[in-house]
Amino acid sequence: MGGWVYIMSNRVRGVLYIGVTADLPARMMQHRNGKGSKFCRRYGLDWLVYVEECSTIDAAIAREKAMKAWKRQWKIELIEARNPSWDDLFGRILG
């Protein structure tokens, strides 16, 4: 079973949250319904700005840990390489 690494934000170049899940649509619904992480609720993070699919959940967890250790600028560059306008990708994953 695969996994997903994702980044959420509250605005362009705003607060960033990196998460991991095996079921991306379900996890995004949790975040949208206030059942996600306390960090996301606290900072109003409801934009899905980056998504990366991994072959296994273990690979996704390893990728998440690596990304969390990155400098903030590297995370911004990663987002902007795939999503330069910081669009909310939520609708695309449910569509």
State residue 95's pLDDT score.
65
State residue 44's pLDDT score.
92
> Structurally, how many domains does the chain consist of?
1
Cα 61 from Cα 28, distance rounded (Å): 17
State residue 1's pLDDT score.
78
The string of pLDDT tens digits covering residues 80-95 is 999 999 999 998 877 6
pTM of the model: 0.94
Task: Find how far residue 44's CA is from the centre of its chain.
Answer: 14
Give a three-class secondary structure readout of the chain: CCEEEEEEECCCCCCEEEEEECCHHHHHHHHHCCCCCHHHHHHCCCEEEEEEEECCHHHHHHHHHHHHCCCHHHHHHHHHHHCCCCCCCHHHHHC
The mean per-residue pLDDT over the stretch 69-90 comes to 97
80 close to 50: Cβ distance less than 8 angstroms: no
Q: Which is nearest to 39 in space by CA: 84, 78, 7?
A: 7
State residue 34's pLDDT score.
87
The string of pLDDT tens digits covering residues 11-66 is 999 999 999 999 999 999 999 888 988 999 999 999 999 999 999 999 999 999 99
75 close to 14: Cβ distance less than 8 angstroms: no
State residue 15's pLDDT score.
97
Provide the residue range defining the domain that includes 19: 3-94
| CATH code of 64's domain | 3.40.1440.10
